[in-house]
A and B are shown apart, each in its own frame.
Chain A
Amino acid sequence: MSEIHLDRDVLSTLKEVMEDGYLELLDTFLNDSEARLRVLHEARDAEKLSATAHSFKGSSSNMGAIRLAELCGELEQRAKQPSLGGIEKLVSEIDSEFAHVRKLCREEREGFHC
């Protein structure tokens, strides 16, 4: 189940690419994502919502956060539609998915330390 939250293969590639920068990458991703989540919660216009979801989708996919990237993609598409119904539900799904991802990232961080 955790493969959907954070793809192990992607992580090991990233570890190989980043070497010592791996931890910084994890931290940066988490900080970035938290900032984006805040924007998603506060955003009042559809365009801002869609653009933020788009960026979030991109960086999530790079980190192997497959499910999170999917949800962001759905939000991006939904925000482009005339009726904004269901947006709040999607944002809260993204919230909880990110919570999983964050937990896994932190474990990864601890593991990398050892």
Chain B
Amino acid sequence: MLSDLEPLTVLIAEDSAADRLLLSTIVRRQGHHVLTAADGAEAVDIYIQQRPHLVLMDAMMPVMDGFEAAQKIKQLAGEQLVPIIFLTSLTESEALARCLEAGGDDFLAKPYNQVILAAKIKAMDRLRRLQATVVEQRDQISRHHDYLLNEQRVAKAVFDKIAHSGCLSAPNIRYLQSPYALFNGDLLLAAFNPAGDMHILLGDFTGHGLPAAVGAMPLAEVFYGMTAKGYGLAQILREMNAKLKRILPVDMFCCATLLCLSFQRCTVEVWNGGMPDGYLHDSLSGVRTPLPARHLPLGVLTPQLFDDRTEVHPMSLGDRVFLLSDGVIDTADDNEQLFGVERLQQVFSANREPDCLFEDIQQALRDFRGEPRDDFSMVEVRLVAPTQLNPPPPVYSDSGQSSPLDWSMSFEFRAQTLRRFNPMPYLLQLLLEVHGLRAQSGALYSVLSELYSNALEHGVLGLDSSIKRDASGFARYYSERNQRLDELNSGHVRVHVHVTPHGDGGRLVIEVEDSGKGFDVARVLARPADSNRLSGRGVSLVRQLSHQACWSDDGRSARVEFFWEALA
């Protein structure tokens, strides 16, 4: 009666020689390999040496009885299940209970019945295999878990290198992210553009784990690459959206808020696609203006349908922009109630010390639920004087030996181009081929951008900068700008660039002309530099940052010069 199961090694511990002989013969005939012991101590020794699969154990034995031997063997077996079947003619329930307490898994009564014994061995073998499978699978899961954690650590280290190539450590930024927020899809990036403006992105990819983190890489690349080259938010957003739309599966996208803080113009430009409201905190009045989502997340719409329209808000020194991920307001308590925006606003109004806002929010979350979620991100950016920041100098990979020193070039950008194309990054990159200009790239970019936007907004679009005299006018100005730009079908901006050697160094002349009505140059130039908080900054900025700024043709043509000395 050979069984269909694989042969086991069975230890028989029995002091009665006749019973031992009989049982060994029965078990062997069932196809198993048999080891025998005449007492408990011998059984433990044999178990240690040969590790049998299953033990048939007499309860009453000399030297060491079956109870003690069973306990020792169970202890030695650890996580492995070594079934122990007690051989017994015991009938008292108390004695049977002792067998189970000692670790016995079953009984076999004397006289032995072959059929029952075979069935019990089979059942115990099933249990044994089940336990082995459970242990193996548990170990496998634990190995996979370790593997996954290690992968995450490596991925995070790689990612941190990329993410922290930005300026999150700037003195005007405070942020708080749960350590593995990246693997919950949260993404926080910050970088200076060539003009010294700061771009900040807080993003939240759908999904969790590696898939959520993977999309962060291309997004960060676009963000840093384009910010460094001087692209504006609209172009960066278009590129990000197109890239994510192209590479992500349909059910994946990225909610994001993108900011551009200009420390020179004292403005913040905002685009919010699908993120919770951000807040602009006026430090004087204490008013918090919400910065709500006006767009679908990145990676949802095709490039044709994508809306890159931003909002611009004026800021004063000390004002703050606060952004947060939905992990904060979606924190749920034990009854599935969400923390919610209202509670957040209560924290805002109770907050006395702006620098402690994060701590206040965390405390409120703890009070609400006991334990904050592992996927929240908060960031706060303060408007400070440009001198308080030290944007790192751009890094150039070429030697500068091919620096072109004597050339000029003219561009004319017409209505259809003006509507959707920002030539500034291209012009800047071209100019930065001139090695001597690199040290002034910030000023160069600021002046160039200012002249271009003056030509476009006041010249071609005919917008009056005095609209921007208060906050609501400011918003009106930018919405008017967007509308007129959309409808633009005539007009032009011309940019002339002349680079010539000058002494041991060189000279750059930039002229920007527009097709607008011009302005009263004498009157504008006569105004004190900072007579108005919100408007008319452009002209004074240009005069401050460049040489020989002058206007002609009734303000339709602006001309500035930059000089540089011989290079060391």
- Please list the residues of chain A having a beta carbon within 8 angstroms of any beta carbon in chain B: 10, 13-14, 17-18, 21, 24-25, 28-29, 31-33, 51, 54-55, 57-59, 61-64
Across the interface, which residues of B come within 8 angstroms of A28, CB to CB?
A: 17-18, 21
Across the interface, which residues of B come within 8 angstroms of A32, CB to CB?
A: 16-18
Across the interface, which residues of A come within 8 angstroms of B60, CB to CB?
A: 51, 54-55
Across the interface, which residues of B come within 8 angstroms of A62, CB to CB?
A: 18-19, 22, 110-112
| CB atoms of A55 and B22 under 8 A apart | no
A32 and B29 alpha carbons, distance in the complex (Å): 24
A62 and B111 alpha carbons, distance in the complex (Å): 4
Given A51-B60, A58-B110: A25 touches B18 (CB 8 Å cut-off): yes
Given A24-B21, A28-B21: A17 touches B114 (CB 8 Å cut-off): yes
| CB atoms of A61 and B110 under 8 A apart | yes
| CB atoms of B15 and A55 under 8 A apart | yes
The residue of chain A having its C-beta at the shortest distance from the C-beta of B23 within the complex is A62
A78 nearest CB across to chain B (Å): 15
Is B270 an interface residue when CB atoms closer than 8 A count as contact? no
Task: Provide the B54-98 mask, 1 if CB < 8 A to any CB of A, else 0.
Answer: 000010100000000000000000000000000111000000000
A85 and B112 alpha carbons, distance in the complex (Å): 33
Which of B18, B25, B114 is A59 in contact with, Cβ under 8 Å?
A: B18
A29 and B29 alpha carbons, distance in the complex (Å): 20
Is B26 an interface residue when CB atoms closer than 8 A count as contact? yes
Which of B15, B17, B89 is A31 in contact with, Cβ under 8 Å?
A: B17
Complex A-B: 19 CB contacts under 8 Å = A17-B25, A17-B114, A18-B25, A25-B21, A25-B25, A28-B17, A28-B18, A29-B18, A32-B16, A32-B18, A51-B60, A54-B89, A55-B15, A58-B110, A59-B110, A61-B111, A62-B22, A62-B110, A64-B111
The residue of chain A having its C-beta at the shortest distance from the C-beta of B62 within the complex is A51
A51 and B61 alpha carbons, distance in the complex (Å): 9
Across the interface, which residues of B come within 8 angstroms of A10, CB to CB?
A: 111
- Please list the residues of chain B having a beta carbon within 8 angstroms of any beta carbon in chain A: 15-19, 21-22, 25-26, 29, 58, 60, 87-89, 110-112, 114
Across the interface, which residues of A come within 8 angstroms of B58, CB to CB?
A: 58
| CB atoms of A21 and B110 under 8 A apart | no
B167 nearest CB across to chain A (Å): 85
A28 and B14 alpha carbons, distance in the complex (Å): 14
A69 and B21 alpha carbons, distance in the complex (Å): 19
The residue of chain A having its C-beta at the shortest distance from the C-beta of B19 within the complex is A59
A61 and B22 alpha carbons, distance in the complex (Å): 12
The residue of chain B having its C-beta at the shortest distance from the C-beta of A72 within the complex is B89
The residue of chain A having its C-beta at the shortest distance from the C-beta of B113 within the complex is A13
Across the interface, which residues of B come within 8 angstroms of A17, CB to CB?
A: 22, 25-26, 29, 114
A53 nearest CB across to chain B (Å): 10
B108 nearest CB across to chain A (Å): 11
A24 and B21 alpha carbons, distance in the complex (Å): 9
The residue of chain B having its C-beta at the shortest distance from the C-beta of A65 within the complex is B111
B352 nearest CB across to chain A (Å): 82
Across the interface, which residues of A come within 8 angstroms of B17, CB to CB?
A: 28, 31-32
B252 nearest CB across to chain A (Å): 68
Across the interface, which residues of A come within 8 angstroms of B26, CB to CB?
A: 17
A25 and B16 alpha carbons, distance in the complex (Å): 11
Not counting A55-B60, A59-B19, A62-B111, a sample of 15 additional A-B residue pairs whose C-beta atoms are within 8 angstroms of each other reads A13-B114, A14-B22, A21-B25, A24-B21, A25-B18, A25-B21, A25-B22, A54-B89, A58-B58, A58-B87, A58-B89, A59-B18, A61-B111, A62-B22, A64-B111
A18 and B114 alpha carbons, distance in the complex (Å): 12
A16 and B29 alpha carbons, distance in the complex (Å): 11
Across the interface, which residues of A come within 8 angstroms of B21, CB to CB?
A: 21, 24-25, 28
B15 nearest CB across to chain A (Å): 7
| CB atoms of A18 and B22 under 8 A apart | yes
Closest 7 CB pairs of A and B: A29-B18, A58-B110, A61-B111, A58-B89, A62-B111, A28-B18, A59-B16
A52 and B87 alpha carbons, distance in the complex (Å): 16
A100 nearest CB across to chain B (Å): 17
| CB atoms of A55 and B16 under 8 A apart | yes
A84 nearest CB across to chain B (Å): 20
The residue of chain A having its C-beta at the shortest distance from the C-beta of B16 within the complex is A59
The residue of chain A having its C-beta at the shortest distance from the C-beta of B18 within the complex is A29
The residue of chain B having its C-beta at the shortest distance from the C-beta of A30 within the complex is B18
Which of A10, A17, A31, A33: most chain B CB closer than 10 A?
A: A17
The residue of chain B having its C-beta at the shortest distance from the C-beta of A21 within the complex is B25
